[in-house]
Amino acid sequence: MTTFKRNVYERAVYQEPAPIRDNENPFEAMVERFDVAAKILGLDPGLYEYLVTPSRIHITAIPVVMDDGRLRVFEGYRVIHNEILGPSKGGIRYAPDVHLEEVKALAAWMTWKCALVNVPFGGAKGGVICNPKEMSPGELERLTRRYTANMIDVFGPDKDIPAPDMNTNEQIMAWILDTYSMHSRRTENAVVTGKPIILGGSRGRREATGRGVMTVTLAAMERLGMRPGDSTVAVQGFGNVGSIAAQLLRDQGCRIVAISDVTGGYHNAGGIDIDAAIAYAAAHGNTLEGFPGAEPITNDELITCACDVLVPAAKEDQVTRHNAPNIQAKIIAEGANGPTTPRADDILNERGIMVIPDILANAGGVTVSYFEWVQDRQGYFWTTERVNSRLDRMMRTAFDQVFDVAQKHDVSLRIAAYVDSIRKVADALRLRGIYA
């Protein structure tokens, strides 16, 4: 990342060396895949430019009085990539290294993700440069409320609907709901998804992304003639996505041989007790540090460890040209957004490793967000069974669709996923036409 704009406090505090990245700009990584798909589709250059360009970028200063009385100003973003298929949808992440180019890429990925799973939303993403791990609940609440107030004309149940992402959770969604509702003088629970069930959240939403990862992984295993009972899995990242995916794949009979979080990797060839790891993290400030049920390994060792399925569920740029040649997995299911760089894609393709791309593999989250929004608008709430069976069906359909497109054009699942979703959004744009 070149021009990395951070507020004064963050610049003073966070000066970690930049990791080695294959592609320094995630938006360019998105465009690189888009280009290949656009060529296959024979996309008109005008449409190309329209679809690749974010429609609106909001940048806002968020003043927060900290617990010690100091005033700090944080920088926040909301990028609306486009609203062609419906109101824009996408999470908000809080992290010290949030970058506008990253938020632009994540917003575009939401557009393709929604189109891919046939959810009638456009794409958006938000981000605030902050370190939530060093902030008190009160500071986080004030930051969230002021960010929401600054975005009051952007958000709305029919306009733009936020959700959780990295370091944001149900509580933060509840504060967004409340702040938005105070401004509109009525309770608007459909303005945000991923909120607590008591406030109009959906059953199954918290598990949805991990569940979707499990569904498409099983579908991929079927295609490759692999049996869950004979398969081993390594999961990078032990947040909402990684921990649930590990748990559900374990329930399907897989042996989870490695997990990791920011404190490093944990390996046990005999199988890690995932419930014990979840309980351990919950009791130790949400980290696995010191987890006794496994041997410590590095995150890079986890990526290349002996396993049949690798689930990168942490963050961008984890599978790179440096470690891709040594990956032993037959399937990579991308729980995170953008974990594989374009150069690594080339290597994995050549090596015949099946990558279930992020916009397909982690689309379970936004699918159940869509269910949540529908339930809020109807004021009628579904059972867990109904949520899960509809989610499973939609994920399965999307996987089969992408698989067919990949075979038809003889391309990777990633390029097929882009082809399929860009085609849908381009068709919708042609039908809507350009308002002059």
Smaller CB separation from ligand GLU, 109 or 266:
109
Tokens read off for 253: 């009979």
Give yes or no: 315 in active site. no
Give the shortest CB-418-to-ligand GLU separation in angstroms: 16
Which pair of structure tokens corresponds to residue 212? 């979707």
For residues 189 and 337, which CB has a smaller minimum distance to ligand GLU in the complex? 337
Q: How far apart are CA 429 and CA 341, in angstroms?
A: 29
At residue 303, what is the residue type? I
Q: Which is nearer to ligand GLU, 89 or 206 (CB)?
A: 89
Instruction: Give me the numbers of helices (H) and strands (E) for the chain, helices first please.
Output: 15, 12
Least Cβ distance, residue 202 to ligand GLU (angstroms)? 10
Closest CA to 115 of 370, 353, 390, 380: 370
Q: Which is nearer to ligand GLU, 144 or 268 (CB)?
A: 144
Q: Residue 310 is inside which H or E element, if any?
A: strand 309-312
Least Å distance between CB 409 and ligand GLU? 25
Measured in degrees and rounded to the nearest 5, phi and psi for residue 63 equal: -75, 135
Contacting residues toward ligand GLU, per CB under 6 A: 89-91, 163, 165, 193-194, 337, 362, 365-366, 369
Q: Pick between residue 37 and residue 163 the one whose CB is nearest to ligand GLU.
A: 163
Q: How far is the CB of 373 from ligand GLU (least distance, A)?
A: 9
Q: Token pair of 318, please?
A: 């984890």
CB contact burial 310-327 (16+ within 10 A = b; e otherwise): bbbbbbbbbbbbbbbeeb
CB atoms within 10 A of CB 410: 8
Distance CA 111, CA 99 (A): 19
| Residue of closest CB approach to ligand GLU | 91
Report, in Å, the least distance between residue 164 CB and ligand GLU: 6
Calpha distance 265→246 (Å, rounded): 14
Out of 113, 125, 195, 315, the active site residue is 125
What residues are labeled active site?
Answer: 125
